[in-house]
């Protein structure tokens, strides 16, 4: 029987605490009024001590909801605390400080990302009392706040809904939805100097002319038409809003132009298109080099002693080039394809003007420098060997009379030997340089499918 009574008492207490924990600040504050609150501050020994003067606290309400708690610190500094979620507040916030009312008092605390509270002050209401210690107060207020956060779903949804409503009103004002639109046009924010692989971004916007003669624009042209109003279908560049970049793969722009193309979501018959001819004149460097000795661990399991690690060899490549006519300007350009034989993958398809430089590096990696001798092993370690250069086959179509392609297949340098620990010990030897790769040039008919 006694056990049952104890159990009931515990259960009741738990129920009270749990029920209490679910209450929002709006409910709890029904038991609080504006007035002069007794303040306890935390001292250096992490104990609460009473502050001489009371602090005025002013609770402002809008209907049943508390809209603001103004704490006048020491009666002179105004600290306006506002609810975190107006319909169901767990706390009132002022800068990084929070204020949660519990029982007879308010806890003035800081909060961290680990859901922990650090109490700074306790503000006790005129008729109230407070007798807890710092640690317990921190735990209680954190438990209350986290429990209340879980119950804020509805109120948060309301806030979200209210924000969404405002955004929707804004969207409708600026959207083409429901408006009589005569035409839409693509306008470049600035004219690009070069249109090529790796050239600078091309920024564009949309201008919609309405039948009443007015115009609406996207944000980057000074207007507010939402980009969601348009369906993009760009070619030869990324299919992205506002900013596009020329595709790195030349097969994506077979007609030597990029096409910005979009249609109106709300007026599907309205379409806009802008073609930009490629200039193919940005220099490119392609690196397919061997890894350096100190990166060897990323490529295979290694055992590291005093000796430096050997470097990797450059990749074997096949480079094909063919000169064709630019489909828009009729000028000559080179189509270039680089196939990585080592990785079994086409790594580049470019279209470049005849003078534009393309540097292809398939050089060996540099060997890792050795460690200096130690008391256990006085001799300096040996430097890692440099990697060999890749073997490159350069296939030129008979049409490719002129090009500016440079291919490097040098072997990598060896790493330096380590210094001896003592003068009697020996210096490690420098790693040997990697062999240069071969460069085989062939002239034969080349077929490039782009």
Partner 1 sequence: MKKQILLTAALSLFLIVGVSNTAEAQFGKNTKKALGLGKKGKNKVKKVKGKKGGSFGEFNNETDALGITGEYFGLVDTRAFGFRFVKEAEGKIVDELHYFEKKGDEPQLKMDMKESYHRKNQVKLFFKWMSASASGYVEVIEVAPGVLAQIKGDRSANDYDTPIPVDAKRTVVDVMAKNKADLDTWDIETVQAKVDMIIGALKGAAGDKAKKQLMKYDVYKNYKGKIAFTKGTNYLRNQKANQPTEKEANFITKRELGETVAFKPYFDKPLEQSHPGAWFNITYEMASVKTDREALRKSSSVFAKNIPQIDDDQDKFYFWYPKVTINTSNNVADYAFLELLRLIQDKLQAGQTYDLKVTVWAYKDGANIDPVATGTIQLEYTTDENGTKKRLFEPVQGWVSKIEDVLDE
- Is there binding between residue 222 and partner 1 (CB under 8 A)? no
DSSP per-residue codes, 42-100: E-TTS-EEE-SS-EEEEEEEETTEEEEEEEEETTTEEEEEEESSTTS-S-EEETTEEEE
The binder of partner 1 chosen from 123, 244, 276, 392 (CB under 8 A): 244
The binder of partner 1 chosen from 21, 70, 79, 188 (CB under 8 A): 79
Which region, judged by CB under 8 A, interacts with partner 1, from 28-36, 62-70, 88-96, 125-133?
Answer: 88-96
SS3 409: coil
- Is there binding between residue 51 and partner 1 (CB under 8 A)? yes
Residue with tokens 């809209």: 67
Per-residue contact track with partner 1, 344 to 383, x per CB under 8 A? xxx-------------------------------------
Question: Closest CB to partner 1 among 72 and 429?
Answer: 72
Residue with tokens 């429990």: 147
Which region, judged by CB under 8 A, interacts with partner 1, from 75-83, 127-135, 402-410, 427-435?
Answer: 75-83
SS3 115: coil
Q: Which residues contact 199 (CB under 8 A, 6 or more apart)?
A: 192, 245, 246, 279, 282
Phi, then psi, of 65 in degrees rounded to 5? -95, 140
User: Can you tell me the distance from the alpha carbon of 321 to that of 352, in angstroms, rounded to the nearest whole number?
Assistant: 10
Element spanning 37, H or E: strand 35-42
Shortest distance, CB of residue 359 to partner 1, whole angstroms? 17
- Is there binding between residue 331 and partner 1 (CB under 8 A)? no
- Is there binding between residue 45 and partner 1 (CB under 8 A)? no
- CB of 246 closer than 8 Å to CB of 197: yes
Exposed / middle / buried, residue 441 (Cβ in 10 Å: 0-12, 13-18, 19+): exposed
- Is there binding between residue 72 and partner 1 (CB under 8 A)? no
- Is there binding between residue 311 and partner 1 (CB under 8 A)? no
Shortest distance, CB of residue 291 to partner 1, whole angstroms? 10
Q: Give the rounded distance of the alpha carbon of 271 from its chain centre.
A: 33
Shortest distance, CB of residue 9 to partner 1, whole angstroms? 33
Exposed / middle / buried, residue 342 (Cβ in 10 Å: 0-12, 13-18, 19+): middle
Which region, judged by CB under 8 A, interacts with partner 1, from 87-95, 367-375, 383-391, 400-408?
Answer: 87-95
Q: Which residues contact 450 (CB under 8 A, 6 or more apart)?
A: 249, 250, 251, 254, 335, 337, 349
Question: Closest CB to partner 1 among 145 and 392?
Answer: 145
Question: Closest CB to partner 1 among 117 and 439?
Answer: 117
User: Can you tell me the distance from the alpha carbon of 331 to that of 283, in angstroms, rounded to the nearest whole number?
Assistant: 18
- Is there binding between residue 111 and partner 1 (CB under 8 A)? yes
CB burial string 309-319: b at 16+ within 10 A, e below: bbbbbbbbbbb
Question: Closest CB to partner 1 among 137 and 430?
Answer: 137
Residue list 114-173, contact with partner 1 (CB under 8 A): 145, 149, 152, 156
Residue with tokens 């004002």: 173
Which region, judged by CB under 8 A, interacts with partner 1, from 94-102, 305-313, 365-373, 401-409?
Answer: 94-102
User: Can you tell me the distance from the alpha carbon of 260 to that of 433, in angstroms, rounded to the nearest whole number?
Assistant: 50
- Is there binding between residue 224 and partner 1 (CB under 8 A)? no
- Is there binding between residue 426 and partner 1 (CB under 8 A)? no
Shortest distance, CB of residue 44 to partner 1, whole angstroms? 11
- Is there binding between residue 53 and partner 1 (CB under 8 A)? yes
**Among residues 142, 90, 101, which one has the least CA distance to residue 123?**
101
SS3 163: helix
- Is there binding between residue 285 and partner 1 (CB under 8 A)? no
Shortest distance, CB of residue 145 to partner 1, whole angstroms? 8
The binder of partner 1 chosen from 247, 273, 341, 357 (CB under 8 A): 247
Question: Closest CB to partner 1 among 232 and 354?
Answer: 232
Which region, judged by CB under 8 A, interacts with partner 1, from 28-36, 56-64, 90-98, 316-324?
Answer: 90-98
Shortest distance, CB of residue 195 to partner 1, whole angstroms? 13
Here the tokens at position 304 are 């590291």
- Is there binding between residue 96 and partner 1 (CB under 8 A)? yes
Question: Closest CB to partner 1 among 138 and 199?
Answer: 199
Here the tokens at position 32 are 């609080």
DSSP annotation of 294: G
Q: Go through the chain and tell me how many residues it has.
A: 450
Which region, judged by CB under 8 A, interacts with partner 1, from 58-66, 170-178, 234-242, 266-274?
Answer: 234-242
- Is there binding between residue 75 and partner 1 (CB under 8 A)? yes
Binding-site ranges for partner 1 (CB under 8 A): 41, 51-53, 73-77, 79, 84, 90, 93, 95-96, 98, 111, 113, 145, 149, 152, 156, 198-201, 237-241, 243-245, 247-248, 298, 343-346
């Amino acid at each position: 029987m006694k056990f049952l009574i104890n159990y009931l008492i515990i259960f009741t207490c738990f129920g009270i605490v749990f029920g209490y924990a679910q209450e929002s600040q709006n409910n709890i504050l029904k038991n609080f009024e504006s007035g002069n609150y007794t303040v306890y501050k935390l001292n250096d020994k992490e104990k609460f001590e009473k502050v001489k003067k009371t602090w005025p606290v002013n609770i402002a309400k809008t209907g049943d909801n508390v809209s603001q708690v103004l704490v006048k610190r020491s009666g002179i500094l105004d600290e306006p605390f506002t609810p975190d979620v107006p319909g169901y507040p767990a706390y009132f916030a002022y800068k990084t400080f929070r204020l949660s009312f519990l029982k007879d008092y308010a806890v003035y605390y800081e909060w961290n990302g680990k859901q922990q509270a650090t109490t700074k002050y306790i503000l006790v209401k005129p008729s109230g009392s407070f007798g807890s210690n710092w640690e317990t107060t921190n735990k209680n207020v954190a438990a209350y706040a986290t429990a209340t956060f879980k119950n804020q779903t509805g109120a948060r949804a309301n806030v979200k809904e209210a924000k969404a409503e405002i955004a929707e009103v804004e969207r409708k004002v600026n959207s083409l939805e429901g408006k009589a639109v005569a035409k839409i046009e693509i306008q470049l924010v600035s004219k690009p100097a070069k249109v090529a692989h790796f050239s600078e971004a091309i920024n564009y916007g949309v201008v919609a002319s309405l039948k009443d003669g007015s115009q609406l624009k996207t944000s980057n042209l000074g207007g507010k038409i939402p980009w969601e109003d348009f369906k993009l279908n760009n070619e030869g560049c990324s299919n992205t809003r506002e900013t596009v970049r020329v595709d790195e793969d030349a097969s994506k722009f077979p007609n030597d132009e990029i096409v910005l193309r979009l249609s109106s979501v709300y007026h599907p018959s309205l379409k806009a298109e802008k073609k930009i001819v490629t200039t193919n004149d940005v220099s490119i460097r392609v690196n397919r080099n061997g890894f350096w000795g100190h990166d060897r661990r990323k490529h295979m399991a290694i055992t590291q002693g005093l000796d430096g690690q050997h470097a990797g060899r450059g990749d074997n490549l096949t480079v094909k080039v063919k000169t064709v006519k630019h489909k828009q300007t009729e000028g000559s350009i080179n189509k270039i394809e680089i196939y990585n034989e080592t990785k079994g993958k086409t790594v580049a398809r470019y279209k470049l003007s005849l003078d534009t430089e393309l540097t292809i590096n398939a050089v060996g990696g540099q060997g890792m420098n050795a460690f200096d001798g130690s008391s256990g092993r006085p001799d300096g370690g040996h430097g890692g060997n440099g990697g060999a250069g890749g073997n490159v086959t350069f296939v030129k179509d008979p049409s490719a009379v002129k090009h500016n392609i440079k291919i490097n297949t040098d072997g990598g340098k060896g790493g330096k030997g380590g210094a001896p620990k003592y003068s009697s010990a020996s210096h490690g030897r420098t790693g040997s340089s990697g062999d240069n790769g071969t460069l085989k040039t062939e002239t034969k008919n080349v077929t490039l499918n782009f």
